[in-house]
Structure 1
Amino acid sequence: MLAPVALYADERPRLISTDAGVTELIFALGFEDDLIAIDVTSQLPEGFPALPSIGYHRTLSAEGLMSLNPSVVIGSEHIGPPSVVSALTQAEVKFVQLRSAKSSDQLRDNVLTLADALDQKEKGLRLLTTVDAKLAELNRTNLAGERIAFLLSMDDSKLRLAGEGTSGQSFIELMKAQNVADFKNYRNISAESLFEMQPSVIIVAGTDVESAVPSLLEANPVLTHTPAVKQKRIIAVNGATLVAGLSVSAINEAIRLTQALSNSPALVVQANK
Protein backbone atom coordinates (compact mmCIF):
# COMPACT_ATOMS: atom_id res chain seq x y z
CA MET A 1 0.00 0.00 0.00
CA LEU A 2 1.36 3.42 -0.97
CA ALA A 3 1.97 5.91 1.80
CA PRO A 4 0.59 9.35 0.84
CA VAL A 5 2.87 12.34 1.16
CA ALA A 6 0.46 13.80 3.73
CA LEU A 7 1.78 11.24 6.22
CA TYR A 8 5.06 13.17 6.18
CA ALA A 9 3.44 16.55 6.81
CA ASP A 10 5.39 17.01 10.05
CA GLU A 11 8.72 16.69 8.26
CA ARG A 12 10.21 17.46 4.85
CA PRO A 13 9.59 14.82 2.18
CA ARG A 14 12.61 12.82 1.05
CA LEU A 15 12.60 12.73 -2.76
CA ILE A 16 14.57 10.43 -5.04
CA SER A 17 14.61 11.28 -8.74
CA THR A 18 15.41 8.45 -11.14
CA ASP A 19 15.25 10.52 -14.32
CA ALA A 20 16.90 13.67 -15.69
CA GLY A 21 13.59 15.16 -16.79
CA VAL A 22 12.11 14.56 -13.35
CA THR A 23 15.09 16.21 -11.66
CA GLU A 24 14.77 19.29 -13.84
CA LEU A 25 11.05 19.50 -13.03
CA ILE A 26 11.71 19.15 -9.28
CA PHE A 27 14.00 22.19 -9.49
CA ALA A 28 11.48 24.12 -11.60
CA LEU A 29 8.78 23.49 -8.99
CA GLY A 30 11.09 24.52 -6.15
CA PHE A 31 11.44 21.13 -4.42
CA GLU A 32 15.21 20.86 -4.85
CA ASP A 33 15.93 21.06 -1.11
CA ASP A 34 13.90 17.87 -0.65
CA LEU A 35 16.05 15.84 -3.06
CA ILE A 36 18.17 13.18 -1.37
CA ALA A 37 19.47 11.28 -4.44
CA ILE A 38 19.43 11.33 -8.25
CA ASP A 39 20.26 9.04 -11.17
CA VAL A 40 23.41 9.41 -13.28
CA THR A 41 21.62 11.15 -16.17
CA SER A 42 20.43 14.01 -13.94
CA GLN A 43 22.23 17.34 -14.07
CA LEU A 44 22.49 19.54 -10.99
CA PRO A 45 22.85 23.31 -11.36
CA GLU A 46 26.33 24.71 -10.93
CA GLY A 47 27.08 25.25 -7.27
CA PHE A 48 24.34 22.95 -6.01
CA PRO A 49 25.64 20.44 -3.42
CA ALA A 50 26.42 16.98 -4.78
CA LEU A 51 23.84 14.27 -4.13
CA PRO A 52 24.21 10.48 -3.85
CA SER A 53 23.84 8.64 -7.15
CA ILE A 54 21.43 5.72 -7.46
CA GLY A 55 22.90 4.60 -10.80
CA TYR A 56 21.32 4.40 -14.25
CA HIS A 57 17.54 4.67 -14.36
CA ARG A 58 17.04 1.46 -16.38
CA THR A 59 19.17 -0.70 -14.06
CA LEU A 60 18.24 0.40 -10.56
CA SER A 61 18.35 -1.59 -7.33
CA ALA A 62 15.25 -1.65 -5.13
CA GLU A 63 17.42 -2.32 -2.10
CA GLY A 64 19.65 0.62 -2.95
CA LEU A 65 16.69 2.95 -3.31
CA MET A 66 15.01 1.87 -0.08
CA SER A 67 18.27 2.05 1.90
CA LEU A 68 18.10 5.84 1.48
CA ASN A 69 14.75 5.92 3.32
CA PRO A 70 12.81 7.97 0.74
CA SER A 71 9.22 9.08 1.20
CA VAL A 72 8.72 9.59 -2.55
CA VAL A 73 10.44 7.99 -5.56
CA ILE A 74 9.80 9.72 -8.88
CA GLY A 75 10.69 8.40 -12.32
CA SER A 76 9.58 8.04 -15.91
CA GLU A 77 8.42 5.17 -18.09
CA HIS A 78 12.10 4.27 -18.51
CA ILE A 79 12.62 3.19 -14.89
CA GLY A 80 13.72 -0.41 -14.55
CA PRO A 81 14.17 -3.26 -14.35
CA PRO A 82 10.52 -4.42 -13.92
CA SER A 83 11.35 -6.00 -10.57
CA VAL A 84 12.23 -2.54 -9.20
CA VAL A 85 8.92 -1.10 -10.41
CA SER A 86 7.10 -4.00 -8.75
CA ALA A 87 8.98 -3.52 -5.49
CA LEU A 88 8.29 0.23 -5.44
CA THR A 89 4.56 -0.21 -6.03
CA GLN A 90 4.41 -2.53 -3.03
CA ALA A 91 6.67 -0.54 -0.70
CA GLU A 92 5.54 2.01 1.87
CA VAL A 93 6.68 4.93 -0.23
CA LYS A 94 4.88 7.03 -2.79
CA PHE A 95 5.93 6.02 -6.30
CA VAL A 96 5.24 8.52 -9.08
CA GLN A 97 5.85 7.86 -12.78
CA LEU A 98 5.78 10.69 -15.33
CA ARG A 99 5.92 10.20 -19.07
CA SER A 100 8.95 11.75 -20.80
CA ALA A 101 7.80 15.09 -22.19
CA LYS A 102 7.94 15.02 -25.98
CA SER A 103 5.42 17.85 -26.29
CA SER A 104 4.44 20.98 -24.39
CA ASP A 105 1.12 19.34 -23.49
CA GLN A 106 2.93 16.43 -21.81
CA LEU A 107 5.21 18.85 -19.96
CA ARG A 108 2.18 20.74 -18.66
CA ASP A 109 0.59 17.48 -17.55
CA ASN A 110 3.78 16.43 -15.75
CA VAL A 111 3.90 19.73 -13.87
CA LEU A 112 0.39 19.24 -12.51
CA THR A 113 0.83 15.52 -11.82
CA LEU A 114 4.01 15.96 -9.78
CA ALA A 115 2.75 19.00 -7.89
CA ASP A 116 -0.47 17.17 -7.02
CA ALA A 117 1.44 14.05 -5.95
CA LEU A 118 3.50 16.17 -3.56
CA ASP A 119 0.39 17.93 -2.26
CA GLN A 120 1.62 21.24 -3.67
CA LYS A 121 -0.99 21.96 -6.32
CA GLU A 122 -0.61 25.73 -5.99
CA LYS A 123 3.09 25.51 -6.88
CA GLY A 124 2.13 23.50 -9.94
CA LEU A 125 -0.41 26.08 -11.06
CA ARG A 126 2.12 28.90 -10.63
CA LEU A 127 4.71 27.08 -12.69
CA LEU A 128 2.09 26.28 -15.31
CA THR A 129 1.30 29.99 -15.63
CA THR A 130 5.00 30.66 -16.24
CA VAL A 131 5.27 27.83 -18.79
CA ASP A 132 2.20 29.04 -20.68
CA ALA A 133 3.59 32.57 -20.85
CA LYS A 134 6.86 31.24 -22.28
CA LEU A 135 5.02 29.10 -24.84
CA ALA A 136 3.00 32.16 -25.89
CA GLU A 137 6.25 34.06 -26.37
CA LEU A 138 7.53 31.24 -28.58
CA ASN A 139 4.36 31.39 -30.66
CA ARG A 140 4.98 35.09 -31.29
CA THR A 141 8.62 34.58 -32.34
CA ASN A 142 9.26 31.19 -33.88
CA LEU A 143 11.21 29.57 -36.70
CA ALA A 144 8.32 28.56 -38.93
CA GLY A 145 9.59 27.88 -42.45
CA GLU A 146 13.11 26.97 -41.34
CA ARG A 147 14.61 23.54 -42.13
CA ILE A 148 16.61 22.53 -39.08
CA ALA A 149 19.26 19.86 -38.55
CA PHE A 150 19.67 18.98 -34.87
CA LEU A 151 23.04 17.36 -34.16
CA LEU A 152 24.35 15.77 -30.98
CA SER A 153 27.92 16.89 -30.38
CA MET A 154 29.62 13.69 -29.21
CA ASP A 155 32.31 12.97 -31.79
CA ASP A 156 33.10 15.56 -34.48
CA SER A 157 33.91 12.78 -36.93
CA LYS A 158 30.37 11.38 -36.56
CA LEU A 159 27.29 13.50 -37.19
CA ARG A 160 24.49 12.24 -34.95
CA LEU A 161 21.28 13.64 -36.47
CA ALA A 162 17.97 13.72 -34.60
CA GLY A 163 15.00 12.11 -36.31
CA GLU A 164 11.37 11.49 -35.41
CA GLY A 165 10.63 10.58 -31.80
CA THR A 166 13.75 12.23 -30.35
CA SER A 167 14.24 15.14 -27.98
CA GLY A 168 15.82 16.99 -30.89
CA GLN A 169 12.66 16.58 -32.94
CA SER A 170 10.58 17.82 -29.99
CA PHE A 171 12.82 20.88 -29.72
CA ILE A 172 12.42 21.63 -33.43
CA GLU A 173 8.64 21.28 -33.19
CA LEU A 174 8.62 23.60 -30.19
CA MET A 175 9.97 26.32 -32.49
CA LYS A 176 7.43 25.47 -35.25
CA ALA A 177 10.22 24.52 -37.68
CA GLN A 178 10.72 21.48 -39.94
CA ASN A 179 13.21 18.71 -39.27
CA VAL A 180 15.44 17.88 -42.26
CA ALA A 181 15.63 14.24 -41.10
CA ASP A 182 13.04 11.85 -42.51
CA PHE A 183 13.90 8.87 -40.30
CA LYS A 184 13.19 7.80 -36.72
CA ASN A 185 15.48 8.11 -33.68
CA TYR A 186 19.08 9.35 -33.88
CA ARG A 187 21.26 8.21 -36.77
CA ASN A 188 24.90 8.67 -37.75
CA ILE A 189 25.13 10.36 -41.14
CA SER A 190 27.95 11.69 -43.29
CA ALA A 191 28.69 15.38 -43.76
CA GLU A 192 27.89 14.91 -47.45
CA SER A 193 24.45 13.53 -46.58
CA LEU A 194 23.75 16.50 -44.33
CA PHE A 195 24.90 18.86 -47.09
CA GLU A 196 22.37 17.27 -49.46
CA MET A 197 19.59 17.95 -46.95
CA GLN A 198 20.34 21.70 -47.29
CA PRO A 199 19.42 22.80 -43.74
CA SER A 200 18.74 26.49 -43.26
CA VAL A 201 19.64 26.20 -39.56
CA ILE A 202 21.99 23.78 -37.78
CA ILE A 203 21.68 23.28 -34.03
CA VAL A 204 24.59 21.57 -32.28
CA ALA A 205 23.74 20.19 -28.84
CA GLY A 206 26.68 19.42 -26.57
CA THR A 207 28.33 20.12 -23.26
CA ASP A 208 30.91 22.63 -24.52
CA VAL A 209 28.93 25.33 -26.28
CA GLU A 210 32.01 27.49 -26.84
CA SER A 211 33.85 25.00 -29.03
CA ALA A 212 31.02 22.89 -30.48
CA VAL A 213 30.51 24.89 -33.69
CA PRO A 214 34.19 25.57 -34.58
CA SER A 215 35.11 21.94 -33.88
CA LEU A 216 32.25 20.64 -36.00
CA LEU A 217 33.13 22.81 -38.99
CA GLU A 218 36.84 22.06 -38.74
CA ALA A 219 36.13 18.31 -38.85
CA ASN A 220 33.47 18.62 -41.57
CA PRO A 221 34.43 21.46 -43.94
CA VAL A 222 31.78 20.44 -46.50
CA LEU A 223 29.17 21.85 -44.11
CA THR A 224 30.47 25.36 -44.82
CA HIS A 225 28.59 25.09 -48.12
CA THR A 226 25.18 24.50 -46.52
CA PRO A 227 22.66 27.37 -46.47
CA ALA A 228 22.85 27.35 -42.65
CA VAL A 229 26.59 28.00 -42.47
CA LYS A 230 26.64 30.34 -45.47
CA GLN A 231 24.08 32.51 -43.68
CA LYS A 232 25.88 32.00 -40.35
CA ARG A 233 22.84 30.31 -38.83
CA ILE A 234 24.59 27.52 -36.97
CA ILE A 235 24.11 27.55 -33.21
CA ALA A 236 25.35 25.58 -30.22
CA VAL A 237 22.99 24.84 -27.33
CA ASN A 238 23.49 23.13 -24.00
CA GLY A 239 22.46 19.53 -24.59
CA ALA A 240 21.84 18.98 -20.87
CA THR A 241 18.57 20.89 -21.19
CA LEU A 242 17.27 18.35 -23.71
CA VAL A 243 18.63 15.05 -22.46
CA ALA A 244 15.26 13.77 -21.26
CA GLY A 245 12.73 15.54 -23.43
CA LEU A 246 11.18 18.97 -23.18
CA SER A 247 11.60 20.93 -19.98
CA VAL A 248 11.24 24.48 -18.72
CA SER A 249 14.95 24.93 -19.43
CA ALA A 250 14.43 23.68 -22.99
CA ILE A 251 11.68 26.24 -23.52
CA ASN A 252 14.00 28.98 -22.26
CA GLU A 253 16.68 27.76 -24.66
CA ALA A 254 14.21 27.74 -27.55
CA ILE A 255 13.19 31.33 -26.79
CA ARG A 256 16.80 32.54 -26.72
CA LEU A 257 17.58 30.68 -29.94
CA THR A 258 14.56 31.94 -31.88
CA GLN A 259 15.15 35.51 -30.74
CA ALA A 260 18.82 35.32 -31.73
CA LEU A 261 17.98 34.03 -35.21
CA SER A 262 15.09 36.45 -35.66
CA ASN A 263 17.10 39.51 -34.62
CA SER A 264 20.32 38.79 -36.48
CA PRO A 265 21.62 36.30 -39.08
CA ALA A 266 25.07 36.43 -37.45
CA LEU A 267 26.77 33.36 -36.04
CA VAL A 268 25.55 32.68 -32.53
CA VAL A 269 27.02 30.37 -29.90
CA GLN A 270 24.18 30.13 -27.41
CA ALA A 271 25.01 28.99 -23.88
CA ASN A 272 22.39 27.88 -21.42
CA LYS A 273 22.30 30.51 -18.68
Structure 2
Amino acid sequence: MRAACLKVLLLVSSCFATAHAEQADTLVIGADLAEIVDQLQATSRLLGRDDSSLHPAQVASLPSVGYLRQLSAEGILALKPKRVLISDAARPAIVVRQLESVGLEVIRVDRGKSINDIARKIQQVAVAMGREERMHSLIAKQQVLTAELAAVPRLEGRKALFIFNRTGMTPLVMGRDTEASAALEQAGISNNASFKAYKQVAGESMVALAPDFVIISKAGLQALGGEDNLWKLGGLALTPAGRARRLVQVDDQALLNLGPRTAAAMLQLRQDAGALFQ
Protein backbone atom coordinates (compact mmCIF):
# COMPACT_ATOMS: atom_id res chain seq x y z
CA MET A 1 0.00 0.00 0.00
CA ARG A 2 2.79 2.39 0.97
CA ALA A 3 4.66 1.55 -2.24
CA ALA A 4 1.56 2.24 -4.33
CA CYS A 5 1.03 5.59 -2.63
CA LEU A 6 4.66 6.48 -3.23
CA LYS A 7 4.29 5.75 -6.95
CA VAL A 8 1.23 8.00 -7.14
CA LEU A 9 3.04 10.81 -5.33
CA LEU A 10 6.03 10.51 -7.65
CA LEU A 11 3.75 10.60 -10.71
CA VAL A 12 1.92 13.69 -9.45
CA SER A 13 5.23 15.36 -8.61
CA SER A 14 6.52 14.59 -12.10
CA CYS A 15 3.41 16.09 -13.70
CA PHE A 16 3.77 19.28 -11.66
CA ALA A 17 7.46 19.52 -12.58
CA THR A 18 6.67 19.11 -16.29
CA ALA A 19 3.88 21.69 -16.14
CA HIS A 20 6.25 24.13 -14.43
CA ALA A 21 9.00 23.46 -16.97
CA GLU A 22 6.59 24.11 -19.84
CA GLN A 23 5.05 27.25 -18.39
CA ALA A 24 4.08 29.77 -21.07
CA ASP A 25 6.56 32.53 -20.31
CA THR A 26 8.04 33.58 -23.67
CA LEU A 27 6.99 36.19 -26.21
CA VAL A 28 8.25 35.65 -29.77
CA ILE A 29 8.67 38.54 -32.21
CA GLY A 30 9.61 37.49 -35.73
CA ALA A 31 7.97 34.90 -38.00
CA ASP A 32 11.25 33.04 -38.53
CA LEU A 33 11.76 32.67 -34.78
CA ALA A 34 8.15 31.58 -34.20
CA GLU A 35 8.52 28.80 -36.77
CA ILE A 36 11.79 27.66 -35.25
CA VAL A 37 10.17 27.51 -31.81
CA ASP A 38 7.42 25.36 -33.32
CA GLN A 39 9.89 23.03 -35.03
CA LEU A 40 11.68 22.64 -31.72
CA GLN A 41 8.33 21.60 -30.20
CA ALA A 42 8.37 24.48 -27.73
CA THR A 43 5.19 26.29 -28.79
CA SER A 44 3.65 25.53 -25.40
CA ARG A 45 6.20 27.93 -23.92
CA LEU A 46 4.81 30.87 -25.91
CA LEU A 47 2.32 33.37 -24.50
CA GLY A 48 2.29 35.84 -27.38
CA ARG A 49 3.60 36.81 -30.81
CA ASP A 50 3.78 39.69 -33.28
CA ASP A 51 1.48 40.16 -36.29
CA SER A 52 3.94 38.57 -38.72
CA SER A 53 3.98 35.25 -36.86
CA LEU A 54 1.13 33.36 -38.50
CA HIS A 55 2.47 29.83 -38.83
CA PRO A 56 1.51 27.35 -37.57
CA ALA A 57 -2.11 27.88 -36.49
CA GLN A 58 -1.21 27.27 -32.85
CA VAL A 59 1.12 30.28 -32.96
CA ALA A 60 -1.37 32.41 -34.93
CA SER A 61 -3.97 31.83 -32.21
CA LEU A 62 -1.80 33.53 -29.57
CA PRO A 63 -2.32 37.16 -28.50
CA SER A 64 -0.43 39.63 -30.71
CA VAL A 65 1.60 42.63 -29.58
CA GLY A 66 1.26 44.30 -32.98
CA TYR A 67 3.27 44.82 -36.13
CA LEU A 68 6.94 43.82 -36.11
CA ARG A 69 8.13 47.31 -37.05
CA GLN A 70 5.73 49.27 -34.85
CA LEU A 71 6.16 47.72 -31.42
CA SER A 72 5.55 49.34 -28.06
CA ALA A 73 7.05 48.35 -24.74
CA GLU A 74 3.66 48.80 -23.09
CA GLY A 75 1.98 46.26 -25.38
CA ILE A 76 4.73 43.73 -24.75
CA LEU A 77 4.83 44.21 -20.99
CA ALA A 78 1.04 43.83 -20.81
CA LEU A 79 1.46 40.10 -21.53
CA LYS A 80 3.90 39.81 -18.60
CA PRO A 81 6.53 37.69 -20.35
CA LYS A 82 9.60 36.42 -18.57
CA ARG A 83 11.54 36.21 -21.80
CA VAL A 84 11.33 37.97 -25.18
CA LEU A 85 12.74 36.26 -28.24
CA ILE A 86 13.05 39.07 -30.78
CA SER A 87 14.31 39.49 -34.34
CA ASP A 88 16.76 42.30 -35.05
CA ALA A 89 14.29 43.37 -37.75
CA ALA A 90 11.93 44.58 -35.00
CA ARG A 91 11.40 48.31 -34.64
CA PRO A 92 11.74 50.77 -33.03
CA ALA A 93 15.09 49.77 -31.56
CA ILE A 94 14.43 51.73 -28.38
CA VAL A 95 11.77 49.17 -27.41
CA VAL A 96 14.43 46.51 -26.90
CA ARG A 97 16.38 48.83 -24.60
CA GLN A 98 13.22 49.61 -22.66
CA LEU A 99 12.48 45.92 -22.15
CA GLU A 100 16.02 45.26 -20.97
CA SER A 101 15.85 48.21 -18.58
CA VAL A 102 12.96 46.63 -16.65
CA GLY A 103 14.85 43.36 -16.21
CA LEU A 104 13.30 41.19 -18.89
CA GLU A 105 15.43 38.50 -20.49
CA VAL A 106 15.71 39.69 -24.09
CA ILE A 107 17.28 37.38 -26.69
CA ARG A 108 18.04 39.28 -29.88
CA VAL A 109 18.45 37.14 -32.98
CA ASP A 110 20.05 38.44 -36.18
CA ARG A 111 17.65 37.68 -39.05
CA GLY A 112 20.49 37.01 -41.46
CA LYS A 113 20.53 37.31 -45.24
CA SER A 114 20.60 33.75 -46.58
CA ILE A 115 19.57 30.19 -45.84
CA ASN A 116 23.07 29.65 -44.47
CA ASP A 117 22.00 31.70 -41.44
CA ILE A 118 19.11 29.40 -40.53
CA ALA A 119 21.21 26.82 -38.66
CA ARG A 120 22.71 29.55 -36.49
CA LYS A 121 19.25 30.86 -35.65
CA ILE A 122 18.01 27.37 -34.79
CA GLN A 123 20.89 26.91 -32.38
CA GLN A 124 20.33 30.29 -30.73
CA VAL A 125 16.60 29.71 -30.28
CA ALA A 126 17.11 26.14 -29.07
CA VAL A 127 19.48 27.29 -26.34
CA ALA A 128 17.12 30.08 -25.28
CA MET A 129 14.15 27.70 -25.11
CA GLY A 130 16.00 24.78 -23.53
CA ARG A 131 15.57 22.54 -26.57
CA GLU A 132 19.19 21.68 -27.37
CA GLU A 133 18.30 18.00 -27.67
CA ARG A 134 16.05 18.75 -30.66
CA MET A 135 18.22 21.23 -32.52
CA HIS A 136 20.71 18.77 -34.00
CA SER A 137 18.18 16.88 -36.13
CA LEU A 138 16.59 20.14 -37.25
CA ILE A 139 19.94 21.62 -38.26
CA ALA A 140 20.87 18.41 -40.07
CA LYS A 141 17.62 18.61 -42.06
CA GLN A 142 18.44 22.19 -43.05
CA GLN A 143 21.90 21.19 -44.19
CA VAL A 144 20.48 18.45 -46.42
CA LEU A 145 17.99 20.85 -48.04
CA THR A 146 20.66 23.52 -48.52
CA ALA A 147 22.93 20.98 -50.22
CA GLU A 148 20.08 19.84 -52.48
CA LEU A 149 19.36 23.43 -53.49
CA ALA A 150 23.03 24.13 -54.19
CA ALA A 151 23.17 21.08 -56.46
CA VAL A 152 20.34 22.34 -58.69
CA PRO A 153 21.65 24.33 -61.69
CA ARG A 154 20.51 27.92 -62.21
CA LEU A 155 17.53 28.55 -64.45
CA GLU A 156 19.50 30.22 -67.21
CA GLY A 157 17.96 32.47 -69.83
CA ARG A 158 14.63 32.85 -68.04
CA LYS A 159 13.58 36.02 -66.25
CA ALA A 160 11.15 36.11 -63.34
CA LEU A 161 8.84 38.86 -62.15
CA PHE A 162 7.83 38.64 -58.47
CA ILE A 163 4.55 40.44 -57.78
CA PHE A 164 3.58 41.35 -54.23
CA ASN A 165 -0.10 41.82 -53.52
CA ARG A 166 -2.44 41.97 -50.55
CA THR A 167 -6.13 42.74 -50.21
CA GLY A 168 -6.82 46.45 -50.57
CA MET A 169 -3.43 47.39 -52.00
CA THR A 170 -1.95 48.07 -55.42
CA PRO A 171 0.14 45.15 -56.75
CA LEU A 172 3.85 45.90 -56.64
CA VAL A 173 6.82 44.39 -58.44
CA MET A 174 9.58 43.34 -56.06
CA GLY A 175 12.89 44.76 -57.25
CA ARG A 176 16.52 44.48 -56.18
CA ASP A 177 17.62 44.73 -52.56
CA THR A 178 14.44 43.03 -51.35
CA GLU A 179 13.89 39.77 -49.50
CA ALA A 180 12.18 38.43 -52.62
CA SER A 181 15.13 39.22 -54.86
CA ALA A 182 17.51 37.53 -52.41
CA ALA A 183 15.27 34.46 -52.32
CA LEU A 184 15.19 34.25 -56.12
CA GLU A 185 18.97 34.49 -56.31
CA GLN A 186 19.41 31.69 -53.78
CA ALA A 187 16.91 29.59 -55.71
CA GLY A 188 18.95 30.02 -58.88
CA ILE A 189 16.44 32.33 -60.58
CA SER A 190 17.09 35.74 -62.15
CA ASN A 191 14.96 38.66 -60.96
CA ASN A 192 13.97 40.62 -64.04
CA ALA A 193 13.37 43.89 -62.19
CA SER A 194 16.45 46.12 -62.34
CA PHE A 195 15.13 48.83 -60.01
CA LYS A 196 15.50 48.74 -56.23
CA ALA A 197 12.84 48.06 -53.60
CA TYR A 198 9.17 47.89 -54.60
CA LYS A 199 7.52 49.64 -57.50
CA GLN A 200 4.19 49.84 -59.24
CA VAL A 201 4.72 48.83 -62.86
CA ALA A 202 2.18 48.93 -65.69
CA GLY A 203 1.75 49.62 -69.39
CA GLU A 204 4.86 50.14 -71.47
CA SER A 205 7.13 49.70 -68.45
CA MET A 206 5.68 46.24 -67.84
CA VAL A 207 6.02 45.29 -71.50
CA ALA A 208 9.63 46.47 -71.47
CA LEU A 209 10.44 44.19 -68.53
CA ALA A 210 9.37 41.22 -70.69
CA PRO A 211 9.35 38.58 -67.92
CA ASP A 212 9.29 34.94 -68.94
CA PHE A 213 7.21 33.95 -65.92
CA VAL A 214 5.49 35.47 -62.92
CA ILE A 215 5.80 34.55 -59.25
CA ILE A 216 3.07 35.53 -56.81
CA SER A 217 1.92 34.26 -53.44
CA LYS A 218 -1.20 32.14 -53.20
CA ALA A 219 -2.75 34.75 -50.91
CA GLY A 220 -1.80 37.52 -53.35
CA LEU A 221 -3.41 35.73 -56.28
CA GLN A 222 -6.55 35.15 -54.24
CA ALA A 223 -6.65 38.85 -53.32
CA LEU A 224 -6.60 39.68 -57.04
CA GLY A 225 -9.59 37.44 -57.60
CA GLY A 226 -7.78 34.63 -59.40
CA GLU A 227 -5.38 34.02 -62.25
CA ASP A 228 -7.51 35.64 -64.96
CA ASN A 229 -7.32 38.95 -63.12
CA LEU A 230 -3.55 38.62 -62.75
CA TRP A 231 -3.06 38.69 -66.51
CA LYS A 232 -5.26 41.79 -66.70
CA LEU A 233 -2.68 43.84 -64.79
CA GLY A 234 -1.48 46.65 -67.03
CA GLY A 235 0.74 45.34 -69.82
CA LEU A 236 1.35 41.91 -68.30
CA ALA A 237 -0.70 40.06 -70.94
CA LEU A 238 1.66 41.42 -73.63
CA THR A 239 4.79 39.94 -72.05
CA PRO A 240 6.20 36.45 -72.75
CA ALA A 241 4.89 35.39 -69.33
CA GLY A 242 1.40 36.70 -70.06
CA ARG A 243 1.14 35.27 -73.56
CA ALA A 244 2.05 31.80 -72.28
CA ARG A 245 0.35 32.33 -68.88
CA ARG A 246 3.43 31.05 -67.09
CA LEU A 247 2.88 31.35 -63.35
CA VAL A 248 4.36 29.97 -60.13
CA GLN A 249 2.43 30.32 -56.89
CA VAL A 250 4.38 30.35 -53.63
CA ASP A 251 3.87 30.54 -49.89
CA ASP A 252 5.62 33.87 -49.48
CA GLN A 253 6.04 33.61 -45.73
CA ALA A 254 7.76 30.23 -46.02
CA LEU A 255 9.90 31.49 -48.89
CA LEU A 256 10.97 34.86 -47.51
CA ASN A 257 11.25 34.70 -43.73
CA LEU A 258 14.47 32.63 -43.54
CA GLY A 259 12.85 30.15 -41.19
CA PRO A 260 12.89 26.34 -41.12
CA ARG A 261 10.56 26.11 -44.16
CA THR A 262 12.56 28.47 -46.37
CA ALA A 263 15.11 26.11 -47.93
CA ALA A 264 12.37 23.66 -48.91
CA ALA A 265 10.28 26.53 -50.34
CA MET A 266 13.24 27.75 -52.42
CA LEU A 267 13.84 24.25 -53.73
CA GLN A 268 10.15 23.88 -54.63
CA LEU A 269 10.18 27.26 -56.39
CA ARG A 270 13.18 26.27 -58.48
CA GLN A 271 11.55 22.96 -59.44
CA ASP A 272 8.22 24.59 -60.30
CA ALA A 273 9.91 27.32 -62.34
CA GLY A 274 11.97 24.78 -64.26
CA ALA A 275 8.88 22.71 -65.01
CA LEU A 276 7.34 25.67 -66.86
CA PHE A 277 9.93 25.35 -69.62
CA GLN A 278 10.14 21.60 -70.06
Q: Please confirm whether the aligned pair reaches a TM-score higher than 0.5, indicating the same fold.
A: yes
Q: How does 1:252-267 map to 2 (within 5 A)?
A: 252-265=264-277
* Equivalent residue pairs, number: 257
Match of 2:130 in 1: 119
Candidates 19, 22, 26, aligned match of 1:12: 22
Q: How does 1:216-231 map to 2 (within 5 A)?
A: 216-220=230-234, 222-231=235-244
Match of 1:86 in 2: 97
User: CA separation in 2, counterparts of 1:120 and 1:197?
Assistant: 48
Deviations 1:43-87 (A, max 9, x none): 133476721111122332323323323222011123233442112
Q: Does 1:214 align with 2:225?
A: no
More helix by share: 2
TM-score (norm 2): 0.79
Match of 1:59 in 2: 70
The verdict on how the C-alpha distance between 1:191 and 1:116 changes in structure 2, with shifts beyond 3 A counting, is farther
Deviations 1:3-58 (A, max 9, x none): xxxxx995225221122222222223322222111112221334767211111223
In our comparison, the structure showing a higher alpha carbon Rg is 2
Q: Does 1:200 align with 2:226?
A: no
Match of 1:236 in 2: 249
Q: How does 1:160-171 map to 2 (within 5 A)?
A: 160-171=172-183
Q: Secondary structure of the equivalent of 2:261?
A: helix
Match of 1:5 in 2: none
Deviations 1:214-241 (A, max 9, x none): 2211333x32332223444312222333
Higher relative contact order (CA 8 A, sep 6+): 1
> Cα distance, 1:141 vs. partner?
3.2
Q: Secondary structure of the equivalent of 2:66?
A: coil
Q: Secondary structure of the equivalent of 2:231?
A: helix
Does the CA-based 8 Å contact 2:28-2:84 persist in structure 1?
yes
Match of 1:96 in 2: 107
User: CA separation in 1, counterparts of 2:177 and 2:48?
Assistant: 29
> Cα distance, 1:197 vs. partner?
1.7
Does the CA-based 8 Å contact 2:42-2:131 persist in structure 1?
no
User: CA separation in 2, counterparts of 1:170 and 1:126?
Assistant: 26
User: CA separation in 1, counterparts of 2:98 and 2:236?
Assistant: 50
The verdict on how the C-alpha distance between 1:197 and 1:209 changes in structure 2, with shifts beyond 3 A counting, is closer
User: CA separation in 2, counterparts of 1:47 and 1:86?
Assistant: 29
User: CA separation in 1, counterparts of 2:19 and 2:116?
Assistant: 31
Match of 2:51 in 1: 40
User: CA separation in 2, counterparts of 1:120 and 1:66?
Assistant: 25
User: CA separation in 1, counterparts of 2:101 and 2:242?
Assistant: 55
Candidates 249, 252, 257, aligned match of 2:261: 249
User: CA separation in 2, counterparts of 1:194 and 1:142?
Assistant: 28
The verdict on how the C-alpha distance between 1:118 and 1:47 changes in structure 2, with shifts beyond 3 A counting, is closer
Residue identity opposite 2:185 in structure 1: E
Residue identity opposite 1:252 in structure 2: A
Match of 1:271 in 2: none
Residue identity opposite 1:233 in structure 2: R
Match of 1:183 in 2: 195
Identical columns (%): 23
Q: Secondary structure of the equivalent of 1:112?
A: helix
User: CA separation in 1, counterparts of 2:217 and 2:142?
Assistant: 22
The verdict on how the C-alpha distance between 1:106 and 1:191 changes in structure 2, with shifts beyond 3 A counting, is farther
More strand by share: 1
Does the CA-based 8 Å contact 2:218-2:249 persist in structure 1?
yes
The verdict on how the C-alpha distance between 1:257 and 1:187 changes in structure 2, with shifts beyond 3 A counting, is same
